[in-house]
Amino acid sequence: MELEDIRREYSKGGLRRKDLRLDPVDQFNLWLQQAIDAKLLDPTAMTVATVDETGQPYQRIVLLKHCDHDGFVFYTNLGSRKAQHIEGNTKVSLHFPWHNLERQVNVLGVAEKLTAAENFKYFTSRPKESQIAAMASRQSHRISARGILEGKYLELKQKFAKGEIPVPSFWGGYRIKPTSIEFWQGGENRLHDRFIYSPNADSKEEGGWDIDRLAP
């Protein structure tokens, strides 16, 4: 089969303005819970897009670890490529692909580092093996063989066999504060439904949002 012949119809039902929550984070959390309830594989997986100093975009998948009205949170090695990009350009895009529900969510926002207290709270809640892996890996750096990584992991596992693992200075989280959030629901005959939430500059109350329908 040729690639141009691969297609399917979207038939899960449309999205109407009357069904939307007034706040995009409330709408997102509703959809996220529905993705979890549907037992989708990795419902918290999201693509994080950043841009380097030349304007070259990069994407990678990470897991969402928290979401509230302050923003979307994920954790990473602070020496990684994504962290280096954010250091030079804090504008970030997040994308959630919930294919089985025929839904997508796209978030544009600005990244800010989490506090040491927030990093500590999450790091110490992780399984010990994950803590050791975070310490062992110099994320995004070139290595000559997998054995080097595995050897470092085993060395640290032995070192901290009976003690607590300190939070590495090169590890932490980011909060993406949204500047817009778009919700996409597949529709029949490619007449998809798209709604974008943008801050309402005329709102007297902080946190007001405008909701606009976008053509598919």
The residues carrying an active-site annotation are 190
In whole angstroms, what is the distance from residue 53 CA to residue 169 CA? 24
98 is annotated as contributing to ligand binding? no
Buried b (16+ CB within 10 A) or exposed e, 181-204: bbbbbbbeeeebbbbbbbeeeeee
82 is annotated as contributing to ligand binding? yes
158 is annotated as contributing to ligand binding? no
84 is annotated as contributing to ligand binding? no
9 is annotated as contributing to ligand binding? yes
- Structure tokens given for 103: 């839904």
122 is annotated as contributing to ligand binding? yes
7 is annotated as contributing to ligand binding? yes
75 is annotated as contributing to ligand binding? yes
146 is annotated as contributing to ligand binding? no
Nearest 10 degrees: Cα torsion 59, 64, 65, 69: 110
139 is annotated as contributing to ligand binding? yes
In whole angstroms, what is the distance from residue 127 CA to residue 41 CA? 21
76 is annotated as contributing to ligand binding? yes
Binding site feature residues: 7-10, 60-65, 75-76, 81-82, 104, 122, 126, 130, 139-140, 184, 190-192, 194
Binding site feature residues for substrate: 7-10, 65, 122, 126, 130, 190-192
Binding site feature residues for FMN: 60-65, 75-76, 81-82, 104, 139-140, 184, 194
